[in-house]
Amino acid sequence: MSILRPLKRVFPIAALLAALAVQLFFPNSELQPTTRAPYFTYFLLFLLALYAALIIVSFFSAALAKKLEYGGWFYTGAILFLTGLNIFTSKLAVPPVMYFPSLDRVFGALFDDRRLLLKCLAHSGRLLFFGYFGGSIVGLFTGVGIGFSKRLSYWLSPVIRLIGPIPSTVWIPLMLIVFPTAVSASAFIIALAVWFPVTLMTSSGIANVPQSYFDAGSTLGAGRFVRVVKIGVPASMPHIFLGLFNGACSSFITLITAELIGAKYGLGWYVNWEREMLSYSNVYAGLIVVALVFFLLVTGLFKVRDKFLGWQKGVIKW
Amino acid sequence: MVGGVTLRGISKVFKRESSELVHALEGIDLDIAPGEFVTLIGASGCGKSTLLRIVAGLTQPDSGEVCTDGEPVNGPSPDRGFAFQDHTLFPWLNVRQNVAFGLKNQPKERLAALSGGGSMSSKDIKEQISRDVDAWIELVGLQGFEKVFPHELSGGMCQRASLARALAAHPKVMMLDEPLGALDAFTRMNIQEEILRIWQARKTTMIMVTHDVDEAVYMSDRVVVLSPRPGRIQEIIPISLSRPRARSGEDFSRLRAKILDILQFGGLRQAPDYYL
Ligand SMILES: Nc1ncnc2c1ncn2[C@@H]1O[C@H](COP(=O)(O)OP(=O)(O)OP(=O)(O)O)[C@@H](O)[C@H]1O
Ligand SMILES: [Mg+2]
């Protein structure tokens, strides 16, 4: 155990070296078109340098050391998986090379198309930003309103139950007519997709706040506004965050789908366009970017949650 | 002197889910003088908490009227503080923020009046609040735990924090629903002393529920014994021992025995479910 622990930090290095050995000494299948440069090799070298640097830093940072030890098995596994994939597609060309390009070609596409990809990223990012924040904020207010006002709940709950479950992409044809631009239509549709889970979880969160908190608040002099803002909202934060997560997921789906129609740029558009061009290495390059971006966004949301919901450790778990 | 409470013909019937009726309180008449310390004692489920909630304005009685200083009660107010049976600390706030909640969130005019006239700037008020909160935390022995969240506290610590939170808001009448239930004997006595000290210093009217007869005799001016189902006032025992009191002695034991006697043999002979 005590010997294994520091070793865990080094295993990924060994895996990377093995991956490099496979990549360098095992020639690509003749069926795979060649690339201008061995891009996957570059990628592996980059990972090697990055990881080596992290290991050096980890000797000075116990926190980083712990993280690397914890992730050791996973990183090793991921690298080995990539190597397996490399052998399966690039080296042996078992599946048709048209749909399963070599990793060199995928990373090559990522590199060669970086300008367009960045442009698409910016385009999607803008849509997601306005759609997600717009939808969340409106959802938060709707949820709080429904949670606290009987009259709002009477009028809005049935509407929400009616509209909410409809996949918001169904509205695309209508919105393209109503909104002046495709961008504003798409942003609205994404907002709609986020609005529903956020509203639902916020109002159900508020409905589940124990009455005793409001009782305590009102004997301490809290008026209606304070009870809503300082008791109802923080007490339902765990629910609200669930809504924000679900909202994030449906916003991703909606973003990609919305871009399939009427968009001129964007990651969804890129993937679809390259698929129509039968350029699968670009499709995978686009998918890698999509996965990375969504991964970062969700991780960010987790970080925000941990910061705001430290108090709920031992109270609520999910 | 402020903080007098008058209860006239208070009755409360609850309807259970099974639509069975529970006569929680019936015909409660009680006059509590400003600055008096009154203890309610009685079997579990006889309506003590309900009575406190009615005085606080959290529950509406079915009939009867509650007045504080001649004003009818028709809703909660920071003038009537409440230390709840289960502590109800806000789990998303740490100890310090919990204790400060009342001071930070009550109407500004009330705060200004409390801190002696309207001459204070908002910065002064803030500093005053901060000092007050520190003092309360120290008083209930939670210094060093200011930044700790309720789920990391023991049951007794939560009760102390909740007591500090309620008292810090400067109520005129204070409802204490078994505030010392989860404390060990030693801490319990300490906090009893603190409550008595605060009571004497502030002249806050105290209405306390307890299951501990010694505590009732030691602390109160009057002990109100409630009988269960329907909750009625069975007897009111004035405790005329001089203060500061000893926790033993002939008079003390006599009063204690008398209350125990009423609880066990007076009026109700069927199986009692006392905590005693
Ligand atoms: N909200 C409610 N709905 C229905 N019944 C209630 C409600 N609140 C209290 N009761 C009933 O009223 C009766 C009195 O309850 P209360 O909580 O006042 O008792 P208590 O004297 O404080 O008991 P304990 O000493 O156990 O705290 C009980 O029988 C209880 O079941
Ligand atoms: Mg009770």
Q: Kindly state whether B37 is in contact with chain A, defined as any CB-CB distance less than 8 angstroms.
A: no
Mean pLDDT value across residues A172-181: 88
Q: How high is the pLDDT of residue B275?
A: 47
Answer whether B90 sits within 8 Å of A231, measured CB to CB: yes
Asked if A222 has any chain B CB less than 8 Å from its own CB, the reply is yes
Q: How is residue B171 written in tokens?
A: 């109520």
Does pLDDT of B140 surpass 50?
Answer: yes
State the pLDDT at residue B274: 53
Which site among B87, B92, B95, B99 would you substitute to test the A interface, given the most A Cβ atoms closer than 10 Å to its Cβ? B92
User: Are the C-beta atoms of B136 and B168 separated by less than 8 Å?
Assistant: yes
Q: Which runs of E-coded beta strand occur in chain B?
A: 5-15, 21-32, 37-42, 63-68, 71-72, 80-83, 173-177, 205-209, 222-227, 232-238
Q: SS in 3 state form for A124-174? A: HHHHHHHHHHHHHHHHHHHHHHHHHCHHHHHHHHHHHHHHCCCCHHHHHHH
Q: What is the pLDDT, as a whole number, of residue B182?
A: 74
Mention every residue, 6+ apart, whose C-beta is less than 8 A from residue A200.
A143, A160, A164, A243
Closest CA in chain A for residue B85: A212
* Residue range B6-27: mean pLDDT, rounded: 89
Interchain proximity B169–A237, CB inside 8 Å? no
| CA–CA distance, A214 with B167 (Å, rounded to integer) | 17
Closest CA to ligand 1's atom 25: B44
**Window from A129-133, A302-306, B105-109 with minimum mean pLDDT:** B105-109
Ligand 1 atom index nearest CA of B25: 14
Residue A314: pLDDT band with limits 50, 70, 90: low
Distance CA A177, CA A152 (A): 30
Instruction: Check pLDDT > 80 for residue B114.
Output: no
Over 60: is that where the pLDDT of A121 sits? yes
Band of residue B148 on the pLDDT scale cut at 50, 70, 90: very high
- Checking if the pLDDT of B34 tops 80, the result is yes
pLDDT over 60 (residue B267): no
User: In this complex, is the C-beta atom of B35 within 8 Å of any C-beta atom belonging to chain A?
Assistant: no
Average pLDDT (B63-92) is 91
- How far apart CA A192 and CA A152 sit, in angstroms, is 19
- In this prediction, residue B265 carries a pLDDT of 54
- Bridge pairing between strands B80-83 and B71-72: unpaired
What confidence tens digit (pLDDT) does each residue in A201-254 have?
999 999 999 999 999 999 998 888 999 999 999 999 999 999 999 999 999 889
CB contact under 8 A, B75 and A212: no
Instruction: Please give the share of chain B, as a percent, with pLDDT higher than 70.
Output: 93
Q: Residue B266: its pLDDT value, please?
A: 46
pLDDT at A262 over 90: no
Decide: A89 and A100 in contact? Cβ < 8 Å.
yes
Q: Which ligand is nearest to the CA of B210?
A: 1
Average pLDDT over residues A171-188: 88
| Residue owning the nearest CA to atom 1 of ligand 1 | B14
CB B191 within 8 A of CB B163: yes
Looking at the CA of residue B228, tell me the nearest atom of ligand 1: 21
Instruction: For residue A237, give the chain B residue with the closest CA.
Output: B92
Rounded to whole angstroms, the Cα distance separating A190 from A225 reads 31
Q: Which of B105, B106, B170 to mutate to test the interface with A (most CBs of A within 10 A)?
A: B105
B73-82 pLDDT, tens digit each: 989 999 999 9
C-alpha to C-alpha distance for B32 and B39, rounded to whole angstroms: 11
Reported residue count of chain A is 318
| ipTM at complex level | 0.88
Interface of A with B in 292-311 (CB under 8 A): 310-311
Q: Please, what is the average pLDDT of chain B?
A: 87
Which tokens in the block code for residue A157? Answer: 């709950």
Atom 11 in ligand 1: which residue has the minimum CA distance?
B24
The answer to whether the Cβ–Cβ distance between A223 and B107 falls below 8 Å is yes
Residue nearest to atom 18 of ligand 1 (CA): B47
Alpha carbon distance B27, B42 (integer Å): 16
**From B88, B94, B149, residue closest to A213, measured CB to CB:** B88
Of B53, B90, B106, the CB nearest to A221: B106
* Angstrom distances, CA of residue A83 to CA of A78, A281, B261: 9, 17, 84
Give the three-state DSSP class for A108. helix
Which structural domains are found in chain A, ordered by start? 4-112 (no CATH), 114-312 (1.10.3720.10)
Q: Does the structure show a pLDDT above 60 at A278?
A: yes
pLDDT band, residue B217 (cuts 50/70/90): very high
Which 232-251 residues of chain A touch chain B by CB within 8 A? 234-235, 237
The mean pLDDT value for A85-89 works out to: 92
Q: How many helices (H) and strands (E) does chain B have?
A: 8, 10
Size of interface A-B (CB pairs under 8 A): 82
Task: Please choose from B21, B49, B212, B215 the residue to mutate so as to test ligand 1's pocket, defined by most ligand atoms within 8 A of CB.
Answer: B49
Cross-chain Cβ contact A219/B58 below 8 Å: yes
What is the C-alpha to C-alpha distance for residues B26 and B226, in angstroms, rounded to an integer? Answer: 11
Question: pLDDT tier at B123 (50, 70, 90 boundaries)?
Answer: confident
Neighbour tally for A20: CB within 10 Å: 17
Q: List ligand 1's pocket residues with C-beta within 6 A.
A: B 14, 16, 22, 24, 44-50, 85
| Mean pLDDT value across residues B155-173 | 90
Q: How far is A77 from chain B (nearest CA, A)?
A: 38
Model confidence at B117, in pLDDT bands (50, 70, 90)?
low
How, if at all, do strands B37-42 and B222-227 pair? parallel
Please state the separation of Cα B239 from the chain's center in Å. Answer: 18
Distance from CA of B240 to the nearest CA of A (A): 31
Average pLDDT in chain A: 89
**From B88, B105, B150, residue closest to A222, measured CB to CB:** B105
Q: Hunting for tokens 């360098």 — which residue is that?
A: A24
Residues near B4 by beta carbon (within 8 Å), at least 6 away in sequence: B31, B32, B33, B34, B68, B69, B70, B205
Mean pLDDT of A94-121: 91
Pocket test for ligand 1, best of B41, B50, B51 (most atoms within 8 A of CB): B50
Contacts of A219 in chain B (CB under 8 A): 56, 58, 76-78, 80-82, 166, 169, 171, 175
Identify the band that residue B247 occupies on the pLDDT scale cut at 50, 70 and 90. confident
- Residue pLDDT, tens place only, B251-260: 889 998 899 8
Q: What is the mean pLDDT of residues B159-182?
A: 90
What pLDDT, on the 0 to 100 scale, is given for residue B86? 86
> Quick check: helix, strand or coil at residue B189?
helix
Is pLDDT at A200 greater than 90 in this prediction?
Answer: yes
Convert A35-87 into a string of H (helix), E (strand) and C (coil). CCCCHHHHHHHHHHHHHHHHHHHHCCCHHHHHHHHHHHHHHHHHHHHHHHHHH
